[in-house]
Chain A
Amino acid sequence: MNAPAPMASKGAIRIQNVDKVYLAREGAVQAVSDCSRDIRPGEFCMIVGPSGCGKTTLLNAIAGFHDITGGAIYLDSEMLCGPERPKAEPGPDRVVVFQNGALFPWKTNLDNVTFGPVVQGKMTRAEASEKARGMMADAGLAGVEHNYPGEISSGMRRRVEIVRALMNDPKVLLLDEPFRALDSLTKSVMHEALLEIYYKNKVTIFFITHDLEEAIFLGHRVAIMTTRPCKPKKLLEVDIPHPRNYSVLTSPRFRELMEETVSAVHEEAVKAFEAGEKEM
């Protein structure tokens, strides 16, 4: 297998000493503490940590849904949020694929996929539809263009949503446990589908999960985070070459990497469990 190294020239994320304190009923809660991480352009970056550790807080800060209370986040050396501007402006260069999916149920799959380019005025509806059909066909979605999201399987819905995000030509794709609700068989199909989409579209991927196997199978690097407050605990370079497929899962190297990290993740999970953290 020859490995196409990540070729994207844009989409570098620099997370620099980020803090996030928010006010809850029980007082100030430190969700993220002094978190720094550099993500290379075109990197498939996996973020692993226990439930409620503040991973989503980090994603929301990059996406521009929430503010941060310290530090700064840069995209290609442009400051998204920082001391002067605590909340980034949401934009089509950083599109989110949500945990439980956020396809618009009142739009057909095709109209969902063309949403971004059409509202941005970048393409006419006809141009967008043409591009969308091509991308949907590539993702195995030919034939469901005129169905509503409610009419197709959950695995297909996730793919529609990923294609919808990619239609914006984002620099970064932010995925928040996108396959969590899928059964394990569908999940394995989705992993390969996502890799295939990734190889075709050079984009930086920021992928949150708490499934270690998923993390190692997909990512160039796996950042393991501590339980709340969230900060980097361990960074794992996955030296298994891309393109990968499911045979990787049974390779000795994969097992080694799993063993190397499983204890670190487990330790944080136990801490989180004992602290009784709720889902965020």
Chain B
Amino acid sequence: MSAVVDSVAPQPARPRQPVLRHPVVRAFVSIALFVAFWELASRLNWPWIGQAPAPSKVLDAWMPLLNDHGYWYSWYQSSRRVLSGFLAAMLIGIPFGLAMATSRIFHDVAFPVFEILRPVPPLAWVPAAIIFWPTQELSIGFVIFLGAIFTIVLNVIGGARAIDGRFFQAARSMGSSNWDIFRRIILPGVLPSIIVGCEVGIGITWNVVVAAEMISGGGGAIQSRAGGGLGFFIWNSYIGASYPLIVVGMVSIGIAGYISSAIIRRLGILATPWLRVR
């Protein structure tokens, strides 16, 4: 009667997957092909892509940095800023979104302002952020916060709207109070959307990190030319016209963004065990 209970029969040995079918192998092949194409295009000086420094030149510029304390300090600085801006966006965005989703009045009052502020690009907030906040770090954190919060809020509202109405009816008829409905239906029902919002949101925080760190002017804690945050590092390399270093900064942000999204995804899977069974 049940596939779950009756599946005690010994499983046949899983046939071995060909190496190339493994997703990690495929990922490496894809990255290697991309880098090879880029190297070739750069050496042959093809139009457009030939202008970019070749991967070998980027690597030459990168290698010495791996022993450079300042470069790793930039990683630390940017990660710390992204994380705090992102956490602030979660702490404010999730309750704000839930409030808009559960209260018609609050939604009608707050949503227009939210929608007007939403299209303003974080870069446009930089001057205002510098004026608003007493310290540089707060200004940077604020710009990063703005990058993430709108996506998180929109996902919370959308997720709450998408909860099946029968869940509320069933919960009501079994004697739930409003608080029970909120805690036992709305919160778990909206959780998958919160996770999607956070996954997209943390990607955006890395998108805006260059704009945000333009504020820092090096952050006042420069151990070397490479200190002050990855975003600042790119900006600084641009000023200094060291093109391979710009690419080093870009790739570094790419890697950092990939890692943070992967962490959120993993936490998300742990937090929603029921979605794994589908």
Contacts and interface: CB of A to CB of B under 8 A. Distances in A.
Interface of A: 63-65, 90-92, 94-96, 98, 100, 102, 104-107, 115-116, 119-120, 140, 143-144, 147-153, 155-156, 164, 168, 189
B174 A106 contact: no
Nearest to A155: B1
B164 A102 contact: yes
Interface in B1-35: 1-5
B189 interface: yes
A98 B171 CA distance: 12
Contacts of B189: 106
B interface, how many residues as a size bin? Answer: 20 to 34
A274 B1 CA distance: 41
Contacts, number: 88
Determine which residue in A65, A106, A152, A168 has the highest number of CB atoms from chain B within 10 A of its CB, and name it.
A106
Contact of B169 (A63, A119, A149): A63
A151 B4 contact: yes
A95 B5 CA distance: 29
Given A104-B185, A148-B277, A119 B166 contact: no
B274 A105 contact: yes
B274 A102 contact: no
Interface stretch (B60-68, B175-183, B225-233): B175-183
A90 B273 contact: no
B1 A115 contact: no
29 contacts: A63-B169, A65-B172, A91-B175, A95-B174, A96-B169, A96-B173, A98-B166, A102-B166, A102-B167, A102-B169, A106-B188, A106-B272, A107-B274, A116-B174, A119-B171, A119-B180, A119-B184, A140-B1, A144-B5, A147-B277, A149-B274, A150-B274, A151-B277, A152-B3, A152-B4, A153-B2, A155-B1, A156-B1, A189-B1
Q: Is the interface of B mostly helix, strand, loop or mixed?
A: helix
A115 B1 CA distance: 25
Interface of B: 1-5, 164, 166-167, 169-177, 180, 184-185, 188-189, 191, 272-274, 277-278
Going nearest first, the 8 A-B pairs with the smallest beta carbon separation are A116-B174, A102-B166, A106-B188, A120-B175, A90-B172, A102-B170, A90-B173, A148-B274
A93 to B, nearest CB: 9
Contacts of A102: 164, 166-167, 169-170
A96 B170 contact: yes
Contacts of B188: 104, 106-107
Contacts of B166: 98, 100, 102
Contact of B174 (A107, A115, A147, A149): A115
Contacts of B272: 106
B191 A92 contact: no
B218 to A, nearest CB: 47
B175 A147 contact: no
Contacts of A100: 166
